[in-house]
Amino acid sequence: MKIVLAQLNFSIGDFEKNSFKIREAIRHAKKEKADLVVFSELAICGYPPLDFLEFDDFVERCKKEIAGLAKECIGIAAIVGGPSVNPGLEGKNLFNSAYFLEGGKIRNEIHKSLLPNYDVFDEYRYFEPGKNSECIELNGVKIALTICEDLWNVEDDPMYVNCPMDELTKEKPQIMINIAASPFDHTHAEKRKAILKRNALQYKIPVVYVNHVGAQTELIFDGGSLVLNDAGDVVHELKYFEEDVLSFEFPENRGSVTGETKGKQPVSKIQSIHDALTLGIRDYFQKQNFTKAILGLSGGIDSAVVLALAVETLGEKNVHAVLMPSPFSSRESVDDSLALSKNLGNSCDIIPIEPLYNEYLSSLKSQFGNLPFNVAEENIQARIRGNILMALSNKSGYIVLNTSNKSELAVGYGTLYGDMAGGLSVIGDVYKTEVYELAHYINRHKKIIPETIIAKAPSAELRPGQKDSDSLPDYNILDSLLFQYIEQRKGPAELMASEFDAALVNRVLKLVNTNEYKRSQAPPILRVSPKAFGLGRRMPIVGKYLS
């Protein structure tokens, strides 16, 4: 049996585009004389559709498009993910299903049994778990058809009480096919491989895995679809962060598979983060029909990295940088920013904010009185810059890219309606130490980001001689503490018992927890870590969690 894997980039709710892609892939598979073509989870509507699933006409459109695709399946079969209606009176109205299309009609619907309800997932909000497990059959080959999470209950500490494959294996399937929407984080590709290998070894049959690729606002899907033989060896690996189609032969009654491996997993964490961020920027703009980006350029490492990523993704003609020096900005910062823009070829403007800043201080003189200079004057500068960027955005149709990093967002070192403004947060899930690694990766072939930007001490330059180190610990220490608290969920006692001073833990955790209100107003953050701010980290704004 010849099987084609179609790893495609779908758009949520764009039925015409999604159906066209699926139809074209079916026709391609026919020309390849394939017997079966496999698409990803909820392919027809895109993943995750969220509350669109609460609209009857959205679900009806899914059904209509699936029925139209079934008519294409003459002389070939297809597996396509989509929602289906629960005909029973009990439970939720929908299933998350895999449609088996053959002979011009829907031959079967297989429903997802294990519905993830953690981190970025909220499937139990919408779907009823499938309760009946059955194999499908094509050309005399029994196929155990599962959907994403259905294969993840083989871990040492299983999350669910049942395992769909335990039931399916009773029918003696010869191959396992799993359609998935597995979001990227920089640790996840190896975890997926380990889970799929464990399935192959436990059930002693080959595993075919088809994943989404592309970005849906915060969530990025890296593709990397796989075929493993019954020994758990990866024999085919599709491309990462790109659409890809691969065909292979599955010999009946044999555990081996034949074909040619095309893909290659990124060799480093920073390369995978880089590739994910560029895909995230590209899809956010293309799927929203945006073309041009604008950002404030400060002379610091964060805005430099975001500018370089934006130019790489959107092209130098579609990215505009604005330098907005204040009375406290150094000449070196302006020179470094201009050198960076020259290296990248993007347009840039210089708009000094000192006149506006002085006008604010003059207008507020009676209210401020003789109170000493503090964060109020600092935030005025940031908000002036935010207003300028938004004005240019409104006038010229730019989308503002936010340049805050994860370390800053964690401890609240950002100004609401100022440097936290934007339509998309590019590096909001990238710690400061990782931003430096990204800068070196961007410079791997030639010097794009000037070395003076990379070497200078981090500073917001909002008061004379300001340095981040005046009020924050060294970023190597801070990021390690934040990682253990945010990603690893270590509590105060655990942190104090390890490498961190109690006073430091209390101070940093208080900053993290009391600034939740700021993060709730941040733009969407591209997710590249196992625990990003946003969808996957739900914390109370009014709450206290300290030792």
Catalytic residues: 41, 112, 148
Of the candidates 350, 347, 274, 284, the one whose C-alpha atom is nearest the C-alpha of residue 312 is: 274
Distance CA 420, CA 333 (A): 20
Number of H helices, E strands in the chain: 17, 19
Contact 302, 405 (CB under 8 A): yes
DSSP annotation of 187 = T
**Long-range contacts of the stretch 132-140 (C-beta < 8 A, 24+):** 133/164, 133/167, 133/168, 134/108, 134/110, 134/168, 134/171, 135/168, 135/171, 135/173, 136/100, 136/107, 136/108, 136/110, 138/1, 138/35, 138/36, 138/77, 138/102, 139/1, 139/35, 139/252, 140/252
- Distance, CA of 433 to CA of 25 (rounded, Å): 42
- The whole-angstrom separation of Cα 349 and Cα 297 is 10
Give the residue from 329, 330, 348 showing the smallest Cα distance to 339. 348
Rounded Cα distance, 153 and 158, in Å: 5
CA distance 106 to 123: 24
Residue where the block lists tokens 């970025």: 120
Q: Which residue has the tokens 């709730």?
A: 520
**DSSP run (H or E) holding 296:** strand 293-297
Give CA–CA dist 297/397, Å, rounded: 18
**Can you tell me the distance from the alpha carbon of 415 to that of 161, in angstroms, rounded to the nearest whole number?**
46
313 secondary structure, DSSP code? H
Written as six digits, the tokens of 194 are 């380990």
Report cis status (omega within 30 of 0) of the bond before 458: no
Please name the residue that has the structure tokens 């993840």: 152
How far is residue 492's CA from residue 506's CA, in Å, rounded to a whole number? 7
